[in-house]
Structure 1
């Protein structure tokens, strides 16, 4: 009996040892399989059908001429000479208005008509002064001839000369006033008075605002119309103090406006300010727009980038790079040729990004890249998503 118990203990120990060894071996197999899965999960495989459905693009790494950029925001402006405020020179009533907001007008075009008894009186004063001048001129010439022949009185000549020159000055002053009102003095000399006087546009452009109504009495200097000419609309950008030394005339600016979503506009800097604004501390930079659009209006907010130093560098499209934590990843591409259809394998590789321009980003690599290596040129977001599925074991 004692012998049997001893045998049983020995057999039990042997069984326990065998089970323990088997468990360790199975655990080791599972751990090895897990590591193999982790290593394999960093490669994303796509069938030929998936590759085509995703419209995947692969290519060798291209060299691109990319520029460094300076961020700059601002608004669209026009030069002072391309804006006009039309005011009333004299108190008068608005008899008619010939334009509305948005109308295109030419320089010298009639915007409205004014009428007032004072305007009629002005024309009468001019005609009277001009007729008087004709009489005085004849008298002046007669007195001058008599004085030169020592027949006439010197005092009479001097008085006639003073009256003539005084009236001559008055006529010129009244003519100037008439022309300011858009009235032709020659017509008035012939006795053809104006019943109403035109309000003339001083520039060509668009009517921005109409500030009067028909029949309204307007005081002198009352604003009647606002006109702007956008032919020379330009970008007015603010460059912060830390970036001023990077900006100079001749550099290009890339910018966008909200009214043209998805469209990039370009301008060339023609003037860099020499005075700092205090809030914020920045200088004005003016740039002439290259591809102008009719939808550009002064005062529009713009978001831009000044393209400064340029250099040739390796680059990838923005859609070929994905940020994952603190890293930026691109994907090496390799086609598996075994089998009839073959499939594509994409391996993530860390890149250091640089300047971006026109949808391309400069890249550098932390490891050596084989000559002729292919890269995924798009769908980096999809590839990283598939890679994460592999890491979690989600095959859906």
Structure 2
């Protein structure tokens, strides 16, 4: 948008981490305003005061809807868009039955472009404005997603998935081609506009030690990039890793020994961690990404949110589509709540909302740009209707405070709760994706 735009409604941001600072870290204004200029938040505060101070601003009044930072999805597989909610497999069966046949189709640039656009439109309709996604081994799959994100003005992180064993012939590269392709794609896209390249070994079972070392070398050359992979998702997967890497101390050591452990590392799932792994992850400041709908859908296990937070781990939240069963970060928050309950810990709505916004932005090392409402931040926003369905509306009507009003939307909300999505201050029209 050109000039100034003033959004009016309830506003919710964070001055700190509600896990460590309590719910007082949240900043709620029941009659707030967000002033946007040049794609960024120029001011935040009382709506009437901002309106009086900026009479030249275009005003968009969202009424009683809640204006928040857009959701940040810290781990997803956009190539799995078309196979989301496929029936009933464990991780390794899932990969062989659904994932690998679908990913093979991404050798076709036209197919990659079609799915990339569809995926981004789906997540935008669900209020997600930034995602860290795996692509496939095909450079065209990376080009397609970055081009689609650039067209939409989105901040996005992604990378070519590298695999040189335990995958079909059509989906294997080599240590050298993984390095060469990743480096070329990195140089083409990283830092271009709002795009970030992520070095992406799928996980240790599908990479030889030589490939992991090659990608570790690339990361050492370009430490400004993130690195994403999977860690300790299922117990049978861990046993497989031990058989493939008998010399490793544990699963994490298969990455650490090859230069793939560091502060910019994103380790998806991280459910069944050994004490040494937990200590090393905390020591280096790596990010663990909780994927609750995937963990329940594929039967992986229960993430130890309370224990990991107590250790000072950096934690993000993610849909993990298509192993995850929803494109919605609302549904993802609900599943995170349910998993924590099964572990005897009730996550507060402030903590859930922080995980889906500022927490995931922090995991991606982007907390200075996205994930919160604050002056200077990029104006990626989600506007939430707190009465989007009759069931939600009747519960929210009895709420005594913001959290009672918001929690029904967390537990029962879907894309109908997203009244509007803004990317760099620009409203995103609804599509039929």
TM superposition score normalised by structure 1: 0.17
Q: More relative contact order in 1 or in 2 (CA 8 Å, sep 6+)?
A: 1
Larger Rg: 1
TM superposition score normalised by structure 2: 0.16
Task: Pick the structure with more strand per residue.
Answer: 1
